[in-house]
Amino acid sequence: MAEYPDLLTQQRHRDLKGRERDPWIRRVFLSLLVALLVAALVNAFGQRSETVHASGPEASLEVHGPTRVRGGLLYQQRITVHAVRDIAHPRLVLDQGWLDGQTLNTIEPAAVGESSRDGRLVLSYDQLSAGDQLVVYLQYQVNPTHVGRTDHAVELDDAERPLARVGGTLTTFP
């Protein structure tokens, strides 16, 4: 039998006696890692955009953006308003979840005015005539420490009168 350095034995370190289940432990952890990667590839953890519609007799509202995001992700939401009739004072009312746990980088086109209504962000725009379309782009970055679900509804108002509302939630993964 060959000489082995201190604390090393042929049976334990070469023949792996007593360590027969170690390869199975490694295989289980590797399988879990592969399952996590496959889940990410099929969009289980977000970023793929979806479109949600709502309409009323005076206007239709469309929101296009992801419903699941990850911490640190940069992404865009697009809100489109189609005016069926004249809207004198169009307002987009964004629920608290639009700003909770996220950094709002830009809003294009910029609103004529911004205010708050019961903790919700209100973006005011110029009058829309029948047939006009308003497209608003919002660019975000998810704060890395934010995890969970937030209300992500948006409402189109003419001043204080609701015209259309799109509901939804935004799920944030670590």
Rounded Cα distance, 155 and 157, in Å: 6
- Whether 174 shows a pLDDT value over 90: the answer reads no
Domain co-membership, 121 together with 151? yes
- The domain tally of the chain equals 2
Task: Record the pTM.
Answer: 0.77
Rounded Cα distance, 74 and 105, in Å: 9
Domain assignment present for 151? yes
Rounded Cα distance, 47 and 70, in Å: 8
Query: In this predicted model, what pLDDT tens digit does every residue of 81-122 receive, in sequence order?
Result: 999 999 999 999 999 989 988 999 999 999 999 999 998 999
Domain assignment present for 1? no
Domain co-membership, 55 together with 102? yes
Containing structural domain, residue 89: 49-173
Mean residue pLDDT of the chain comes to 89
Domain co-membership, 29 together with 108? no
